Structure 1
Amino acid sequence: MVRGKHVVYFALQPPPEAAAQALARFEAARARHRVSAKPTPAARLHVSLNPIGEFKRPPTPVFDKALEAAAAVEARPFVVAFNRLGTWPSGDPPPLVLWGDEGVIGVNALYTSIQRALRRHDMAPRREVEIVPHMTLLYDRAQVPETVVEPVAWTVREFVLVHAVHGEGRYDVVGRIPLSG
C-alpha cells in the first residue's frame, strides 16, 4: 500500500448525544489522571471499521468503487455499547480510548460483512484482520488505567465512508450507507 496523506476507510459515527457522553466519560477521568491533551472534537469521533487505503492524491475513483461495494452489505441496525475507558499501549503518544465487552458484537459482524463485500470487488485481502472496536478520544502521555464506565451506547443505523487528510485536520464523510431492516 502506498503511504500517503489521503486515508480512506469505513467507520461508524456516534450521534451527537453519544459523542457528548463519550467526551463526558473522558472529562470525569481528566483531573484524576492529569490528562492535558484536548479531546477529539465531537463531530470527528468515530469507530474505524474497514480500511480502504492510503493515497498520495485524493482517490475519487476509489470512493465510487468502495461505495458500490458497500451497497451490497446486508446488515440490520444494532446497538453498540462501550463500557471501558483507558490508555492503550500503542502509539507515541498513546491513545485514550473507549471500548466494550459484549456491546461490540454488532460492530464485529458489520466489519465482517463489509470485508466480504470489499473482497468481492477486489478491494480487500482474503485474510480478514481481527479488529478491536473502539473510539479514540485523544492522544496523551498520561496513563489512564482500564476503568469500567457507564456505557456510551447508540443504535447504529448506518456506516460511513471517510476521507481523512493527515496533517490538515480534514475529515470528510464521502458517503453514508444505511443498514437495512
Structure 2
Amino acid sequence: MAAMPPPTLVDYIGALLDRFGLPQRLGSALFAPANLHQSFSERIFLPTDEDCAALMQVGAAVSAASCTLHFNRIVGPASTSGPIHWAMRARGVPPAFTALLQAIQSRLVQAGFGHIATGVTPHMTLSYHAPQPLDKIVLDPPIAWTIDELCLVIGGGHPYRYDIIGRWPLLPEIDPPATQAGLF
C-alpha cells in the first residue's frame, strides 16, 4: 500500500534534485523519480494472485481522510555504517496521516497481513544505497503534497518500477493546511 505523487509534483521534485546536483552525486543509486512514493506498508515479495485480490479488498475497505505533508528537508545518515539512505522528510506527522496509517494497518491485520502492517513516517526515499553520507538540505519553501489517493503497487521489471494495480480515493481532508491570503 502506498501513495504516489502526481506527475506534476514528480517533475517539480526532479527539477529540485537537479538544482541540488543530487542525480550526479547518486548516479544509478538514485531512486527513479517515477517511483517516488509514500509507503503505508511493507512489501510482499512475489505476491500471489490471491494476495493481490485480498489486498485489493483491503484498499477498497480503507476509509480515511486525505492529508497534506510538507517536505522541508533532504537527509541522509551522518555515518557510513550500513546502507546509506537519502530521503525527503516531512515536517511533523499530521493527525490525518496517523489516522490514515492506522486505518490501513487495521484493515491489513483484519485480512491476515499483519506482517506487512508496519509503522512508517512521512518521507519519500531518494536512495537506498547512496555512495556517501549527505549533509541536510533545507527545502524552503517546503514541498506540499496532499495525499488524496491510496494505491496498491507491484514493483518489478528492468528498470525497476512500480505499477499501480489498484487505486482508491481518500475522503476530503478534514483540517486542510492553512494558506496565507494574498497580500493587498
TM-score range, shorter chain: 0.7 to 0.9
Does structure 2 conserve the Cα–Cα contact (< 8 Å) formed by 1:16 and 1:42?
A: no
Once residues 86 and 157 of structure 2 are traced to their aligned partners in structure 1, the CA distance between those partners, rounded to angstroms, is 19
Shift of 1:106: 3.4
Once residues 73 and 97 of structure 1 are traced to their aligned partners in structure 2, the CA distance between those partners, rounded to angstroms, is 27
Shift of 1:40: 3.0
The structure-2 alpha-carbon separation of the partners of 1:124 and 1:71, relative to structure 1 and needing over 3 Å to count, comes to: same
The structure richer in strand per residue is: 1
Q: After superposition, what is the alpha-carbon deviation per residue over 1:5-48, rounded to whole angstroms, capped at 9, x for unaligned? A: xxxxx1111112221232233223327x9714153333221111
The two structures have a TM-score, normalised by structure 2, of: 0.76
SS in 2 for 1:40: coil
Once residues 125 and 80 of structure 2 are traced to their aligned partners in structure 1, the CA distance between those partners, rounded to angstroms, is 12
Taking only aligned residues, the RMSD between alpha carbons, in angstroms, comes to 2.8
1:82 alignment partner, one of 68, 71, 74:
71
The structure-2 alpha-carbon separation of the partners of 1:123 and 1:13, relative to structure 1 and needing over 3 Å to count, comes to: same
Shift of 1:171: 2.0
Give the partner amino acid of 2:126. L
The two structures have a TM-score, normalised by structure 1, of: 0.78
Shift of 1:118: 1.0
1:149 alignment partner, one of 120, 127, 139:
139
1:53 alignment partner, one of 44, 47, 64:
44
Once residues 162 and 61 of structure 1 are traced to their aligned partners in structure 2, the CA distance between those partners, rounded to angstroms, is 15
Task: Give runs of ≥4 in structure 1 deviating > 4 Å.
Answer: 89-93
Q: After superposition, what is the alpha-carbon deviation per residue over 1:86-136, rounded to whole angstroms, capped at 9, x for unaligned? A: 2246896522210112265533332211000111112115x9643222111
The structure-2 alpha-carbon separation of the partners of 1:178 and 1:101, relative to structure 1 and needing over 3 Å to count, comes to: same
**Structure 1 portions without partners, runs of 5+:** 1-9
Q: Does 1:101 align with 2:91?
A: yes
Once residues 24 and 36 of structure 1 are traced to their aligned partners in structure 2, the CA distance between those partners, rounded to angstroms, is 15
SS in 1 for 2:145: strand
1:134 alignment partner, one of 120, 123, 126:
123
Q: After superposition, what is the alpha-carbon deviation per residue over 1:47-71, rounded to whole angstroms, capped at 9, x for unaligned? A: 111125223xx52211110111221
SS in 2 for 1:74: coil
Give the partner amino acid of 1:25. L
Once residues 62 and 171 of structure 2 are traced to their aligned partners in structure 1, the CA distance between those partners, rounded to angstroms, is 9
45-54 or 85-94, which moves further after superposition? 85-94
2:102 alignment partner, one of 112, 130, 138:
112
